[in-house]
Amino acid sequence: MQWKFTAGGLLLALLAATVPAQAQQAAGWQSCAAIGSDKERLACFDAWAGRQAPPPAAAASASTPAATTATVAIAPGNRDEEQGCHDPQASELSRFWELERTTSCGTFGIRSYRPISLSVIASDSVNHQPTSGNPANNATADAPYRTTETRIQLSVRSKLGEGMLSGPGPLQDSLWFGYTQQSYWQLFTGDLSRPFRVTDHEPEVFYVYPFAQPLAGGWALRYGGVGIVHQSNGQSLPLSRSWNRVYLMAGAEHAGGLSLQGRLWKRMSEDPATDDNPEISDYVGRGELLATWTTGGGQLLSFTWRTTLKRMDRGSARLQWMIPVKSPFTGSHFGSLQWHTQLFTGYGDSLLDYNRRRTVLSLGLSLFDW
C-alpha cells in the first residue's frame, strides 16, 4: 500500500518536472486514474485539482463588471451613446441643440424642430379678402371662410455638419437645415369643398456655436448662432406672400428647468415694385423672445413674444401648454405625443395675415422633441 502511494507521487513529480504546464493539465488526471487504491487515487485527484488555474473565460467574466463600473465612475460624463440627443441626463438645450459630443446624434438624421401638430382652432376673425401694402397683392373677391378651422404643422431639421470650429473639447458646434410648414384647412366649410386656406413654407439654414458661460442668478449662456430663412406661401398674385431674413440667436438656461431663447432678424431688401408684403417687419416684428419651463412631470409651458422694436401695439404673443399623453390603463407615456393648448394674439399668425390682427385658440395633439 505504501509502495503504491510512493510510486504515484514519484510519477506525478516526474511529470511536473518534465512536461509543460498545458500537458500537465491534460495528463495529470490520467496519472491519478492509474492509481489502484481508492484513497490514494482520491488524494491524487484532490492535489491535481488544487493546482488548476481558473478558466480564462470565467476570470474574464468575473472581472468585466468591475472594469465597466470603474470606467463609468471615472468618466461620469460618459452617457449611453444610443440615447444621444434623447439622453435624459443632459439639459434641455444641450440635448435639443446637441451642444455636447455626448448629446450628438450624428449628421443627416431627421430631428424634431418645432412641434408637429394637428389642432382645431377657433378665432375671432378670418381673412376673407387679404390685402397688402402693394396694390398688386390685394385679393379681388371675398371668400366665405369660417372662423373655425384645422391647423396642421410639420417641422423637421437635419444636421449638416458638426465639430467645425469648436475644437476637440466636450462642446461641439453644428450646422443645420430646418423646414417648417403650416397649413390652415377649412375642414368645416363643406360648401367650399373644404379648401386649404393658406399654407406657409419656411426653409432655413443656421449655425449653432455652444457655450458654457455662467451668468448671474444661476443662469448659463448655452449657445449662440446665425441663420438665414425664407418664408413664403407658394401662391400666385394677388395672394402671393414672401420674405427673406438673416438672424442672430442665443439661448440660456437655468437648472430649475427654465430656458430663454432669443432671435433678432433683419429683412433682406426687395424691389418695392415686386414686394408682396411691404413693411412686414413693422407688423410681424424684428425679433422674438421664447421662454420655456419644463416641469418635473414633463409638462411644458412656453411664451413667445415678437416685437417690432418700435411699436408696442404690433408684433404678437403666443402662450402654449403641452402635457404628455398617458395611457389610462398603465400611466405610461405614448412616446413624445402631447396634448397642447395654445393662445395667439397679434400679427403674422400666417403670411396672409401679416397685416391683420387676429386672436386664435387652438386645441390638439403634438409631437415634440421626438
278 and 137 in contact (C-beta within 8 Å)? no
CA separation for the pair 78, 56 (Å, rounded): 29
Of the residues 112, 230, 254, 336, only one is catalytic, namely: 230
CA separation for the pair 151, 197 (Å, rounded): 10
Give Rg (Cα) of the chain: 35
User: Cell 470565467 sits at which residue?
Assistant: 58
Which residues are 304's β-sheet partners?
290, 318
What are the strands, taking DSSP E only, across 88-233? 111-112, 116-123, 148-162, 174-185, 196-214, 219-232
Query: Is 269 an active-site residue?
Result: no
CA separation for the pair 317, 307 (Å, rounded): 9
CA separation for the pair 368, 83 (Å, rounded): 16
86 and 112 in contact (C-beta within 8 Å)? no
Cα dihedral sign, 262-266-267-268: negative
Q: What angle do CA 116, 117, 118 make, to 5 degrees?
A: 145
CA separation for the pair 27, 21 (Å, rounded): 10
Residue whose C-alpha is closest to residue 339's, from 320, 358, 323, 362:
323
Of the residues 31, 158, 166, 232, only one is catalytic, namely: 232
CA separation for the pair 223, 97 (Å, rounded): 9
Q: What is the DSSP letter of 42?
A: H
Residue whose C-alpha is closest to residue 345's, from 153, 146, 123:
123
89 and 79 in contact (C-beta within 8 Å)? yes
Residue whose C-alpha is closest to residue 195's, from 187, 206, 183:
187
Query: Is 128 an active-site residue?
Result: no
Three-state SS for 79? coil
Give the residue numbers annotated as catalytic, written as ranges.
Answer: 230, 232
